[in-house]
Amino acid sequence: MAHPRRTIRPAIVALLVALLSIGSSTKLVQAATGTAAPSPSTEVESLPQARVYLFRGALGPIFSTGMDRLAERLTHAGVTADVYEFTLCRLVAQRVIANYRDTPAPIILIGHSMGGLCALVLADILGKENIPVSLVVTIDPAHASPSVPLNVERFINIFLSDGVLGGGDIVAEPGYRGHYASFDLKLHKEISHINIEKADDIQAQLVDMITQLPRVPRTESDAVPLRYLVPPDSKVELWDSGIRFPARRGDTLEHVAALYHLQIWSLSQVNPLPENTPLVVGQEIVIPRHLLPAAITAPAAAAAPAR
């Protein structure tokens, strides 16, 4: 009769091999899809919670109620969010500075209409105090809004270029190296100045972005600015910025769009090339990306990881 230990050991070894194989397969699938969790050596523990400051426009309690709803959604997601009138901009700036110096944490500024102008003014005030701003989002800001200051790491403008009450087409100051994305929704006739900040899908994307932001590594930016005129009936997808992508043999804009589940207009607007013309191997095109752009970084852009 075989010794019990000799009978059990092969089974244990087989089980361990199976478990290791499953683990390895899972990691390969995660790597291929961009869903792999950070390794213990790179994962950041006890991340500081972002603080979000939202600003209503003129007659805010009547026309900028979307800011209140967005603040509620952020609070529900575990993010500290406060709403103010744009007229209190400089007063709130002092509070932001005091909060940051007491407990440094990512600062996010969001404003609608004149509130968008306020968000940029406040960011500039913080810049003069050497305080970084993680994200500024302006929603159909006033035409008189200033440029994006250099201390802003990420900027998104969602606006109606043909608007009168808003319509601010915000640009960045010379030398800006952060992430920049501009979305002109003037072709979306269902959207107006007084309901743009209430758009449910836009709010949901902002909440997702803000909850992800503290976990995005801060690295030297290789971001390419994005400027879009969003076609009618197309989803408003809030990309973070663009990334340069080297074309492979047989690539066309149409093929790349299908491969990465992008609408073709999102490529053709930033790459003025025929959609079906083969690209030259190694030719750089710009692909829109999110904060954590798994679909882009995994199979084809591994040599140029997104930041």
Q: For the whole model, what pTM was predicted?
A: 0.80
Widest CA span in the chain? 92
* CATH code for the domain of 287: 3.10.350.10
> Among 205, 229, 253, which residue terminates a domain?
229
C-alpha span between 199 and 204 (Å, rounded): 9
> Among 206, 229, 252, which residue terminates a domain?
229
Residue 273 in domain: yes
For residue 277, the enclosing domain spans 241-297
Q: Which two tokens stand for residue 239?
A: 């990309």
Beta strands (DSSP E) in 40-163 are 51-56, 80-85, 107-112, 135-139, 154-159
Residue 185 in domain: yes
Q: Are residues 181 and 205 in the same domain?
A: yes
Q: What is the pLDDT along the chain (307 residues), one digit of tens a residue?
A: 444 444 434 443 343 333 333 333 333 223 222 333 333 333 444 457 899 999 999 988 899 999 999 999 999 999 999 999 999 999 999 999 999 999 999 999 999 999 999 999 999 999 999 999 999 999 999 999 999 999 999 999 999 999 999 999 999 999 999 999 999 999 999 999 999 999 999 999 999 999 988 888 765 568 999 999 999 989 999 999 999 999 999 999 999 999 989 999 999 999 988 888 899 999 999 999 987 644 444 444 433 333 3
Residue 215 in domain: yes
Q: Are residues 247 and 166 in the same domain?
A: no
Tokens 């603080």 belong to which residue? 51
Residue 123 in domain: yes
C-alpha span between 247 and 241 (Å, rounded): 19
